[in-house]
Structure 1
Amino acid sequence: MRATAIPPEHTNPPHPAGPSPGSEQQTAVDKALVLLKSLAEHDREVGVSELARRACLTKSTAFRLLGILQRNELVERVGSNYRLGAQLFDIGNRVYGPTPPLLQEWLLPHLADLYELTHETVHLAVLHGTEIVYVNKIHGHRAARSPSRIGARLPAYCTAVGKALLAFDHDAAEAAIEAGLPALTEYTLTDADRLRAELRRIRRDGIAYDRQEATLGLICVAVPVMGPLGRPVAALSVAGADHRFAPSRYADALRRVAYEAARAVVAARARGALPSGRGGQPEA
């Protein structure tokens, strides 16, 4: 029986509920975090009165906490308004360990090569647990609607980059299956045996597909970037709208670019320019 699709925003398990804004249980840390989240929802500077209103704080409390955040470079003051600070960017880059930012730097030229060969949306992603993290993305004027953005996470089992990585990581694949395979669309593989068979095919052929499994209307094709010991350190993909995108057309370009990218990773590791490991995890 076909699984019922659920909206993408409901695919991740909810975080434990914290104190509601303005409640007596809120600590100063809670209130400061609410202010940061409120700032993150805007693409412009915001005044203290509006931030206090959105965070359900008094203006004096918001002003005091913003001063503390400013001293720690987590927010910046622009006139009488505030915006997120550069220190948050540095902290965010370390969320998944040291390897993804370095991979982003080393593999960017290869991602650019892939874009030049395809002129479609191209991605670089790494595996983090049972999810994939997009560490780079290039798109042109024909970009298809996609949930991908730099820093975004998606379940690995329903994306081409994710399946390309799970195929070579048995423990992560089984953990994803054990956690459940909810349907993001009507095309998502939700049967464990079918997913295992798909991963076996990917290990054999070296190429993975997402045929509207993560987002309706989006087709992707991906290959792993292999590192030392035959383990992938990342995956590259090409994506496009289903009504015009033929994924097999880009398979050869993906394989060529991934081969050159793998050579660059191995050479960088040999020189000590890249630490060993996958996604910041030590190499076995």
Structure 2
Amino acid sequence: MLDPISTTDAGSASGTGPSQDQQTAVDKALTLLMSLAEEDREVGVSELARRTRLTKSTAFRLLGILQRNAVVERVGSSYRLGPQLFDIGRRAYGPTPLMLQERLLPFLTELYVLTHETVHLAVLHRTDVMYVNKLHGHRRARTPTRIGSRLPASCTAVGKALLAFDHDAAELAIAQGLPAPTEHSVTDPAEFRAELDRVRREGIAYEREEILPGVTCVAVPVMGAAGRPVAAISVSGALHRFEPARVAPELRRVAFEAARELGAAARPRGRRRPASAEPAAA
């Protein structure tokens, strides 16, 4: 069980918030939310009041307001975070990896059926890519990936497709030093920036033996709101037989349809927005 928040640190577990005497109603409500977020279970009013150093009557009153706004849910005599809070987080930070895995599986499956090669779905995590889903091809190529694993973004096609639209992450990767898993990996900052410029212009990224000898890959970003990608989809295969350029048109189409599906899922019901034009092939 967590220790109660001290009087001087009542606004924040890190001690950066206002003192208890300085707390506004908003401060107190946020303190309750942060306390709920620390538990993967429902929490009773008495326990929340003890943790946050609020009176039980104040905690009950604020929880009632939060409940009316669907920010918390009441389960019997206890409370948990509500759906509105998750919706706010989704709108602020985009789809979660689990949601992407579920919603985009049909599009990965379509690519797999079309190509019979290995198909990946990945998201950016600082300067790495995390693989959210993977479908093994019939002509299975040796790849260093598995669901949940991470690789340096600069050495992968999915990573380049994402870094090209995230300047801060790209510059951080360069500042940390571009890794070289193979002799073909791009380690020169100027060359790497030029490649990301090309990816931004053309909307497609390639990788040829940069993460593993004998493997090549092509990737396209799945665009979200404000022209920023939320994920990238790739097709990879053995260098001696797989030609990435041949699957590029279908990959572009599938990624565009996946982005449209995510956009439709994010909009409130009853509101429709005209579909934007599909990006032209390079």
Overall identity of the aligned pairs, in %: 68
Query: How far apart, CA to CA, are the structure 2 residues paired with 1:247 and 1:232?
Result: 21
Partner of 2:116: 119
Partner of 2:171: 174
Counterpart of 1:157 (choices 149, 154, 157) is: 154
Return the TM-score normalized by structure 2: 0.61
Does residue 143 in structure 1 map to residue 158 in structure 2?
A: no
Partner of 1:246: 243
Partner of 2:226: 229
Return the TM-score normalized by structure 1: 0.61
The answer to whether the Cα contact below 8 Å between 2:219 and 2:233 also exists between their aligned partners in 1 is yes
Higher-Rg member (1/2): 2
Runs of 4+ in 1 over 2 A off after TM superposition: none
Partner of 1:100: 97
Structure number with greater CO (CA < 8 Å, separation at least 6) is 1
Query: How far apart, CA to CA, are the structure 2 residues paired with 1:99 and 1:202?
Result: 24
CA drift of 1:217 comes to 0.6
Partner of 1:208: 205
Partner of 1:258: 255
SS in 1 for 2:213: coil
Partner of 1:91: none
The answer to whether the Cα contact below 8 Å between 2:127 and 2:170 also exists between their aligned partners in 1 is yes
The answer to whether the Cα contact below 8 Å between 2:179 and 2:187 also exists between their aligned partners in 1 is yes
The answer to whether the Cα contact below 8 Å between 2:118 and 2:134 also exists between their aligned partners in 1 is yes
Partner of 1:56: none
CA drift of 1:97 comes to 10
Letter of the 2:163 counterpart: L
CA drift of 1:237 comes to 0.2
Query: How far apart, CA to CA, are the structure 1 residues paired with 2:122 and 2:179?
Result: 21
SS in 2 for 1:264: helix
Alpha-carbon RMSD across the aligned residues, in angstroms, is 1.5
Counterpart of 1:220 (choices 217, 223, 240) is: 217
SS in 2 for 1:182: coil
Runs of at least 5 residues in structure 1 that lack an aligned partner in the other structure: 1-95, 273-284
SS in 1 for 2:171: helix
CA drift of 1:114 comes to 1.0
Query: How far apart, CA to CA, are the structure 1 residues paired with 2:268 and 2:107?
Result: 19
Runs of at least 5 residues in structure 2 that lack an aligned partner in the other structure: 1-92, 270-282
CA drift of 1:182 comes to 2.1
Query: How far apart, CA to CA, are the structure 1 residues paired with 2:268 and 2:155?
Result: 35
The alignment covers a number of residue pairs equal to: 177
CA drift of 1:139 comes to 1.2
Query: How far apart, CA to CA, are the structure 1 residues paired with 2:222 and 2:94?
Result: 18
CA drift of 1:98 comes to 7.0
